[in-house]
Structure formats: structure tokens, C-alpha cells
Amino acid sequence: MQGQFSSTQSQVAIVVIVVAEVAVVVVVVVVVVVVVVVVVVVVVVVVVVGEVVVVVVVIVVVVAAAAAAEGAASALRPLFLQILFLLSAAAVVV
């Protein structure tokens, strides 16, 4: 069976791939929700206060979006490293 996954190893590989895909979807959903909330807050502030604070709000939005993107990247980095480790370990066992 050299070069082929056993039944258990293929099941583990499938679980790892599914977990990785779910993690990516969760992170994307969280980032989208954060961006939508920030946009709604910007619209409310612009409507209520006026155009004076638009520049400040835009800066806050950009910083929040950058922080969300960095947080997503930081959260996914260890997960992908772990997946690569598991896949390489499975390849060595085979």
C-alpha cells in the first residue's frame, strides 16, 4: 500500500481539510460582519453628526478593517501550519 492512504489516514485527511475550510469560512464571516457593523456606524455618525467627523470616521474604519484582516491572518497561520504538519506526518507513515 505504499503511496496510498489507508482508510484511517484518508479519513483523518478529510477531517483536517473540512476543519480548515470551516475555519476559513468562520473567519471570513467574522470579518464581513465587522466591516458591515463599521459601515453602519459610519453611516449613522455621518447622518447624525454631519460631515465634520467623516475624515476621523474613515480613519477609524480603515484601522478597524486592517486590524480585522491581521487578526484573521494571525488566527489562520497556526492552523495551516498544523495542517501541513499533519499531512507531512501522514505522508511519512505511508
Residue 33 lies in a domain: yes
Residue 28 lies in a domain: yes
Residue 22 lies in a domain: yes
What pLDDT sits at residue 1?
47
Cα–Cα distance measured from residue 32 to residue 36, given in angstroms and rounded to the nearest whole number: 6
Phi, psi values for residue 28, rounded to 5°: -65, -45
- pLDDT for 39-83, tens place per residue? 777 777 777 776 666 667 677 777 777 777 777 777 777 776 677
The number of distinct structural domains making up the chain is 1
User: What is the greatest pairwise CA distance in the chain?
Assistant: 70
Cα–Cα distance measured from residue 1 to residue 8, given in angstroms and rounded to the nearest whole number: 13
Residue 1 lies in a domain: no
Q: Return the percentage of the chain with pLDDT > 70, whole number.
A: 69
Residue 85 lies in a domain: yes
Range of the structural domain that residue 45 is part of? 7-93
Cα–Cα distance measured from residue 93 to residue 1, given in angstroms and rounded to the nearest whole number: 11
Residue 55 lies in a domain: yes
Residues 6+ apart with CB under 8 A from 55: none
Chain centre distance of CA 88? 23
